[in-house]
């Protein structure tokens, strides 16, 4: 078996060598010989066309009815037609077909045309195959990514199942008292975590109000831009006030303290002073109003025995408008002087 394989391989190599030598020996082509062969082939084809044209003229000149063109309805006539066709086939079968002469270059031209068509079709097939290959590779990458995600999900689910089984086994080995104590400790731990998180959120909220939000609320109350349109606001800008177009007034024309305090009292009323009776600035008064409003809304929503979900507003304040724009609260659909926090556990009201 190995001997026959080696012999076949040796024959293939020998054939390749001989073909290469033959190709190299034919590199030097006599141009004049090629032109002579082309002229001869052209003349031969032209003579063949003339012969066919003469035969066609004779056929056209023949009297009608000699050659049947359509099968007759008469069985006898149809039999005669079939006999005529049979005789014609018998005479044509032994005749040799037209072949080019021995030195004709027509076979080479036909072979070259066939090769050219084959090459063109192969190139188109290669381009189409490459495009399909790109699409399949992209699809393969997508499927590999999906498989990777599926493996991660499977691993996560299996890990969760093992964890739940371990917890179930541990619970099954506990007494009722131990299980109750564990549940109590878990609830206490959760409560402590929630309290710590609530404290951190409260501190962050206080810092945000003092450092950013209070000044913008005070500016809107004083006729300035809406909260968010102007972020850099200080006590000097609030003391100077705003024009009718909502632009800050010049700091050179400061409002007297008496007029400024009267303006604060007119806007914020009893919220213009702290618990110790000390007067507050515009920024402090706006921040205090927002904190008290949020606390009242929160208590009305969650504290047992509260006054209900809606809270009555003393006036249309910048704080209440800001909470509505921020989608934290919403007005009563029939009374704009009532406000409540949005229950994020339900769908938003239309």
pLDDT digits (tens, 9 = 90+) for 98-152: 666 666 777 777 888 899 999 999 999 999 999 999 999 999 999 999 999 999 9
pLDDT at residue 313 above 50?
Answer: yes
Q: Crossing angle for the helix pair 282-302 and 214-221, nearest 10 degrees?
A: 100
pLDDT of residue 29: 47
Count other Cβ atoms within 10 Å, centred on residue 175. Answer: 8
Tell me, what's the pLDDT at 350? 41
The C-alpha atoms of residue 23 and residue 15 are separated, in whole angstroms, by 12
Mean pLDDT of the chain: 78
Contacts with 72 (C-beta within 8 Å, 6 or more apart), sequence order = 78, 81
| CA atoms of 124 and 129, how far apart (whole Å) | 8
pLDDT computed for residue 345 by the predictor = 59
The pLDDT of residue 155 is 95
The model's pLDDT over 176-214, given as tens digits with 9 standing for 90+, comes to 788 788 889 889 999 999 999 989 988 898 888 888 888
- Cα gap 251→237, rounded to integer Å: 7
Instruction: Pick 159 or 281 by higher pLDDT.
Output: 159
Per DSSP, 183 falls in state H
Q: What is the per-residue burial (b if ≥16 Cβ within 10 Å, else e) of 276-300?
A: eeeebbbbbbbbbbbbebbebbeeb
pLDDT for 27: 47
d(CA 110, CA 288): 99
CB 286 within 8 A of CB 218: yes
41 or 166, greater pLDDT: 166
Residue 174 has pLDDT above 70, yes or no: yes
At 333 the three-state DSSP class reads coil
The tens digit of pLDDT for each residue in 4-56 reads 656 766 766 776 677 666 655 554 445 566 677 777 777 877 877 887 788 77
The overall pTM is greater than 0.85 = no
For residue 321, is pLDDT > 50? yes
* pLDDT(334) > 50: yes
Kindly state the average pLDDT of the residues 273-279: 68
Q: What does the pLDDT average to over 61-79? A: 70
Q: Domain spans of the chain? A: 202-341
Query: Cβ distance 254 to 239 under 8 Å?
Result: yes
Share of the chain above pLDDT 70, in %: 78
What's the pLDDT score for residue 333? 85
What's the confidence (pLDDT) of residue 26? 52
């Amino acid at each position: 078996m190995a001997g026959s394989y080696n012999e076949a391989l040796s024959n293939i190599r020998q054939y390749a060598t001989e073909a290469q030598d033959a190709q190299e020996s034919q590199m030097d082509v006599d141009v004049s010989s090629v032109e002579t062969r082309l002229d001869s082939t052209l003349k031969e084809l032209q003579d063949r066309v003339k012969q066919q044209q003469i035969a066609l003229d004779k056929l056209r000149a023949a009297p009608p009815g000699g050659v049947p063109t359509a099968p007759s309805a008469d069985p006898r006539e149809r039999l005669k037609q079939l006999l005529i066709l049979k005789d014609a086939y018998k005479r044509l079968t032994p005749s040799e077909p037209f072949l080019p002469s021995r030195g004709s270059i027509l076979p080479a031209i036909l072979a070259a045309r066939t090769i050219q068509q084959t090459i063109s079709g192969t190139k188109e097939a290669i381009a189409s195959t490459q495009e399909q290959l790109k699409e399949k590779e992209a699809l393969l990458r997508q499927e590999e990514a999906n498989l990777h995600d599926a493996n991660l999900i499977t691993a996560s689910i299996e890990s969760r199942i093992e964890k739940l089984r371990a917890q179930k086994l541990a619970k099954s080995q506990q007494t009722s008292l131990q299980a109750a104590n564990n549940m109590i400790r878990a609830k206490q731990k959760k409560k402590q975590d929630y309290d710590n998180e609530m404290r951190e959120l409260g501190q962050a909220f206080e810092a945000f109000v003092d450092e950013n939000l209070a000044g913008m609320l005070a500016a809107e109350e004083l006729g300035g831009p809406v909260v968010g349109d102007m972020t850099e606001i200080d006590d000097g800008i609030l003391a100077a006030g705003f024009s009718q177009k909502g632009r800050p007034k010049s700091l050179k024309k400061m409002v007297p303290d008496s007029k400024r305090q009267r303006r604060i009292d007119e806007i914020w009323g009893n919220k213009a002073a702290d618990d110790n009776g000390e007067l507050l600035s515009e920024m402090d008064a706006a921040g205090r109003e927002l904190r008290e409003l949020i606390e009242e809304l929160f208590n009305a929503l969650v504290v047992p025995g509260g006054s209900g979900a809606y809270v009555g507003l003393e006036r249309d304040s910048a704080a209440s408008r800001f909470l509505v724009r921020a989608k934290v609260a919403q007005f009563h659909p029939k009374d704009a002087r009532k406000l409540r926090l949005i229950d994020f556990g339900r769908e938003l009201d239309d």
